[in-house]
Amino acid sequence: MNAADFEAQLRTARYGKPLELLEVTTSTNDDARARAEAGARDGHLVVAREQSAGRGSQGRSWSSPTGGLYFSLVLRPRLETPALPPLTLVVGRALAESIEARCPDLGPAEVKWPNDVLVDGRKCAGILVESATVGAKLEHVVVGVGINVGRDIWDAELQETATSLPETDHGALLADVLLRLEEGVALLEREGPASAVRAIEDRLAYRDETVRCGDVTGTLLGLSPSGALRIDTAKGIREVVAGRLEVTDPQKR
C-alpha cells in the first residue's frame, strides 16, 4: 500500500489521520494501544504489511503473511462502556460492505457473530476490539482488523475454513472501510446500540440455522438490541453474550 495513494482516496473526517505505515510488526493492535496510551487522537491508524505475532479473539493467533491487509485504529468514542459490545458488529458490517463493493464477483459477505466476516461460508477477515477504562469511564478503544488478500496457501488447520479476497488495491479497500466505519460509529454514538444492531441484522451469518454457542444449542433467530445472539432452544429463547458460534452441521451449508 502506498501512503500517498491511500491518503488521496481517504474521505473520512477523522479516521486514518494520521497514518502510520510499517513494513513488519509483531501486532498492529499492540502498536495502536501504545500510541493510545501515549495520547494518540481518535482516528490514529497503524497499518503493517506483515505481522509476526498477529492476534485474534480469545487468545488465538492470526496468520499474517505479507500480502494481506492488517491495521488497527485508535478510537475515543462517545460511548458508555455498556454500549460498547455492538462496536465489533459495526466493524464487521463496514468490512462486509466494503468487501462486496471492492470485490463484487465474490458474492455476499456476511458478519459471523461476533467478530468475523465470511464469504461463501469461509472466513476472509477477523476483528479484535480491545478497550481500556479508567474507573467507569471508557478511555480508548483499539479496533484491529486482518483481511486475507491474494492468498492461496493455508496452514492445515485453515484450509477448510478460510478464504481470501483476490488481489485488490489495499489503499482503496482500507479507505472505503474507514469511511463506512466512521459512519457506523457515528450512528452508534448518536442513536445507541439498538439502531446500530438493526443495521447489521440483514448480514448476520447462520440466521435460521441450527447453531451452538457454548452450551446453548438451537435456531439462530437474530440479535437482541444490545447485540447479543437470540437462540431459540428447546427450553425457550436464550440471549448469548459471549462464546464461539458454530453451525451444528456445516456439511448442510
Q: pLDDT, tens digit, for every residue of 217-250?
A: 999 999 999 999 999 999 999 999 999 999 987 6
Share of residues in the chain with pLDDT > 70 (%): 96
Residues 125 and 22 in one domain: yes
**Measured between alpha carbons, how far is 101 from 60 in angstroms, rounded to an integer?**
29
In total, how many domains does the chain have? 2
User: Is 230 in the same domain as 127?
Assistant: no
Residue 184: partners with Cβ closer than 8 Å, 6 or more residues away: 90, 91, 93, 94, 196, 199
- What pLDDT shows up at residue 59? 62
> 143 with 62, same domain?
yes
**Same domain, residue pair 49 and 157:** yes
Write down the mean pLDDT value for the chain. 92
Whether the CB-CB separation of 241 and 85 falls below 8 Å is answered with: yes
CATH number for the domain including 82? 3.30.930.10
Are 193 and 244 found together in one domain? no
The three cell numbers of residue 30 are: 499492540
**Mean pLDDT in residue range 16-45:** 96
Nearest Cα to 126, choosing from 63, 169, 190? 63
Residue 241's domain spans which residues? 210-252
36-67 per-position pLDDT tens digit: 999 999 999 999 999 887 877 656 766 788 88
Q: How far apart are CA 59 and CA 108, in angstroms?
A: 28
Strand blocks (E) in 92-215: 109-112, 116-119, 122-134, 137-147, 210-213
Q: What is the CATH number of the domain that holds 241?
A: 2.30.30.100
Condensed to tens digits (0 to 9), the pLDDT of residues 148-199 reads 999 888 887 888 889 999 999 999 999 999 999 999 999 999 999 999 999 9
Q: Judge whether residue 135 has pLDDT over 80.
A: no
pTM: 0.94
pLDDT, position 70? 96
DSSP E strands in the chain: the ranges are: 19-25, 45-51, 69-75, 109-112, 116-119, 122-134, 137-147, 210-213, 216-223, 229-233, 236-240, 245-247
Dihedral angle sign, alpha carbons of residues 156, 160, 161, 162: positive
Q: Does one domain contain both 152 and 222? A: no
Query: Do residues 152 and 97 share a domain?
Result: yes
With pLDDT > 90 as the criterion, what percentage of the chain qualifies? 82
The SS3 of residue 127 is strand
Same domain, yes or no, for 214 and 194?
no
- The pLDDT assigned to 134 comes to 81
